Amino acid sequence: GAVVSQHPSWVICKSGTSVKIECRSLDFQATTMFWYRQFPKQSLMLMATSNEGSKATYEQGVEKDKFLINHASLTLSTLTVTSAHPEDSSFYICSAKDIRLYGYTFGSGTRLTVV
Amino acid sequence: AQSVSQHNHHVILSEAASLELGCNYSYGGTVNLFWYVQYPGQHLQLLLKYFSGDPLVKGIKGFEAEFIKSKFSFNLRKPSVQWSDTAEYFCAVTFGGSGNTGKLIFGQGTTLQVKP
């Protein structure tokens, strides 16, 4: 079945530094990937849509300069949290759209803690 | 605006009880509907999905959902829950037809706690 690998699963960084999160589709090509943010006990909030070979589309209220998304290949999208602050601490989840199944496969998420 | 709403935020049931979780969306056009489950410490797993055809959809683990277009609803049901069904349940929707971006919008989620 479709598998999405997200790395790292958790990361702790200092305020002001940048963190990169990778999302890979392992056995299918994903022209479209999505990045979500999930706060404790809350739902998944869509941050942006990542399209291979083009700029990401950000949801309203999401700072594109803070959350840099790159989708350079059909199997890899990256989210870079730049100049991280404690309020950026959250659970980040990626999802890849599998056109074969018209479904969405989710990564296992990345727990980011900014200290 | 397009949105997804789950009415029950926290549900507590005893084993063998029946379950129904509500999900409504606001959009007058074509939708695709999904239910996902998130067990503690695990990633989201698809329970079932609806695109077209029979509005009663059967999924994994004994779950089913019914799409009622007139009510803009897609409620999740299970006749008899088990302790292992304790998890977070999310309804999700894509809005629009072939020209949409396919982005999946989630409801607020429902925490289900099943007591043994």
B59 close contact with A: CB closer than 8 A:
no
Residue A47 confidence class, pLDDT cut points 50, 70, 90 = very high
Phi-psi region of A87 (alpha: psi -120 to 50; beta: other; left: phi over 0): alpha
Residue A7 confidence class, pLDDT cut points 50, 70, 90 = very high
pLDDT at A65: 95
Task: Say yes or no for a CB contact (<8 Å) between B108 and A42.
Answer: yes
Smallest Cβ–Cβ distance between A34 and the set B49, B104, B107 belongs to B104
**B102: chain A residues, CB-CB within 8 Å:** 32, 97
Smallest Cβ–Cβ distance between A104 and the set B104, B107, B109 belongs to B104
Helical ranges in B31-114 per DSSP H: none
**B43: chain A residues, CB-CB within 8 Å:** 93, 106-109
pLDDT at A28: 87
Cα distance from B19 to chain A (closest Cα, Å)? Answer: 20
Collect all residues with Cβ–Cβ distance below 8 Å to A97 and sequence separation of at least 6.
A30, A31, A32, A33, A34, A103, A104, B102
pLDDT at A43: 86
Helical ranges in A1-115 per DSSP H: none
B103 close contact with A: CB closer than 8 A:
yes
Tell me what percent of the residues of chain A surpass a pLDDT of 70: 97
Q: Among A59-68, B4-13, B36-45, B72-81, name the one with the lowest average pLDDT.
A: B36-45
pLDDT at B99: 43
Spatial distance between the Cα atoms of B115 and A32, rounded to a whole number of angstroms: 40
Task: Say yes or no for a CB contact (<8 Å) between A95 and B34.
Answer: no
3-state secondary structure of B61: helix
pLDDT at B97: 59
Using omega within 30 degrees of 0 as the cis cutoff, is the peptide bond preceding A8 cis? yes
Closest Cα in chain A to B42: A108
pLDDT at A114: 97
In terms of Cβ atoms closer than 10 Å to its own Cβ (0-12, 13-18, 19+), residue A87 is exposed
Q: How far is CA B32 from CA A82, B67, B92, in A?
A: 34, 10, 8
Task: Say yes or no for a CB contact (<8 Å) between B103 and A102.
Answer: no
pLDDT at A30: 87
In the A/B pair of chains, how many CB contacts fall below 8 A? 42
Cα distance from A69 to chain B (closest Cα, Å)? Answer: 16
